[in-house]
Structure 1
């Protein structure tokens, strides 16, 4: 398997960083992750724009423009010949002699096999627990997943699927997903602050406007518990319903019609994107 590091393609076992890199020493760096389907990188322009935003906030200068990055990705896809995959672009804080000050970033692009369901499976759903927490610099897709990884044992011990971050009674996100609430009067709510603005999230907001009223606003845990439906979104999940939170059933405890409909609409958007090619 091939990877790209800084200015060259190498085999994965050769894609190494110095121990002085700030991603190792301090967990300082950003990344973005997108899928390919039929060798087409889905929504790549949106992902590269978000990567550039994340890097800018952390004051990291990307060594390539978006056109150059797309050409590198294109060549990586060709070399690895993986039709369905996940591609991750990581930008680190660079090799810091003092182990603290950002320097010229290291850039790594890797590709791995990733298989997605061809159709929506309504039997799949999440059981969440909550945790009082807000991520640092939440609009940045940072490599720092300290809390999410730390909470994995708590999630497992609770018999849950994942954790929902809450602060002062208001929700934000899951460690790797955005959250949507469908109210009993058919409004779609999603948190407007303390969240990563997911690419799938943005497309759902675009799609949903033709189906129901959409609002980006503060969303309380009470809104979640009183919802008709709750679902999460991410690159690797598309849309996935939430069946319970802290042991409390959401809606009727099954996949709702709005979630199902939006999933199908998002899947069609994907198919149109693939058909267009790049």
Structure 2
């Protein structure tokens, strides 16, 4: 994308240039960090799995007692127009719903609905070939099934992750694994059974797609996953909208399996890419 390519946003039924889109300081997203969001990607101008993302967006709003000012169909119309205005072939679209402008800095007002679309970068072939290294941290995200804008712990841990030569941090409590700050977690047992945590996690759309793909050829389980399970795993990987499937090769400096991206992980990635291409109308 050229540097002079103008990007547009959506804010409360208005489309405007990105550089001139603002919220007032009284918004509860600023005052108290109160709000939700969701994020989907486009491929060749087509939003992928949009209905799933909108379902989660509205569910998050309900859990946080926020009202989305548009119906799902109205929101789809706004999304389509935004994508057309920006003209990005491959992008990420973030929908943000805030606590609204508050008279006293605490009580919610009518929610503000904001959408931002920007170019998207997926993991490089080099990243996939190398895999990633992670550390662990004891923490459970509050109201995990809602995709809130509260990423305080993950952001606080960025420096620690870097200091330990890692790429991300996996949350657990008393040894029971949940999720990454922005991704879901899977491991592969010695018999190729896939397991992913079922409790205290955001139900990712990529997680959902991977479970469905994997069930066609492997045993899959949603349940309790422990750090001990991870220590004995044959493979492990994270899933997210932007990362797809990213193999994990080391945890706290100890190798996962043989320390290389595993066959099951890479097989599922290939099938996930095909599913996305079918959604985008490429296949």
Superposition TM-score, scaled by structure 2 size: 0.95
Aligned residue in 1 for 2:56: 50
Is 2:258 aligned against 1:240?
A: no
Q: Describe the superposition over 1:208-230 as per-residue Cα deviations: whole angstroms up to 9, x where unpaired.
A: 00111100001000111100000
Choose the corresponding residue for 1:7, options 13, 23, 28. 13
Indicate conservation of the 8 Å contact 2:146/2:202, yes or no: yes
Is 2:221 aligned against 1:215?
A: yes
Aligned residue in 2 for 1:26: 32
Aligned-pair CA distance for 1:13: 2.0
Indicate conservation of the 8 Å contact 2:189/2:232, yes or no: yes
Indicate conservation of the 8 Å contact 2:130/2:260, yes or no: no
Aligned residue in 1 for 2:141: 135
CA distance in 1, matches of 2:181, 2:107: 27
Indicate conservation of the 8 Å contact 2:123/2:243, yes or no: no
Q: Describe the superposition over 1:9-30 as per-residue Cα deviations: whole angstroms up to 9, x where unpaired.
A: 0111221111010000000000
Aligned residue in 1 for 2:162: 156
Aligned residue in 1 for 2:45: 39
* Structure 1 runs not aligned, ≥5 long: none
Aligned residue in 1 for 2:81: 75
Is 2:105 aligned against 1:99?
A: yes
Aligned residue in 2 for 1:174: 180
Choose the corresponding residue for 2:66, options 56, 60, 77. 60
Aligned residue in 1 for 2:23: 17
Task: Please tell me the root mean square deviation across aligned C-alpha atoms, in Å.
Answer: 1.4
Task: Report how many residues are paired.
Answer: 277
CA distance in 2, matches of 1:120, 1:31: 30
Aligned-pair CA distance for 1:7: 1.2
CA distance in 2, matches of 1:118, 1:46: 26
SS in structure 2 at match of 1:9: strand
Q: Describe the superposition over 1:227-271 as per-residue Cα deviations: whole angstroms up to 9, x where unpaired.
A: 000000000000000000011100000011100110011111001
Aligned residue in 1 for 2:259: 253
Aligned residue in 1 for 2:3: none
Choose the corresponding residue for 1:190, options 181, 193, 196. 196
SS in structure 2 at match of 1:275: coil
Aligned residue in 2 for 1:206: 212
CA distance in 2, matches of 1:47, 1:26: 25
Aligned-pair CA distance for 1:118: 8.3
* Structure 2 runs not aligned, ≥5 long: 1-6
Indicate conservation of the 8 Å contact 1:29/1:142, yes or no: yes
CA distance in 1, matches of 2:77, 2:122: 25
CA distance in 2, matches of 1:260, 1:54: 31
Indicate conservation of the 8 Å contact 2:121/2:242, yes or no: no
Superposition TM-score, scaled by structure 1 size: 0.97
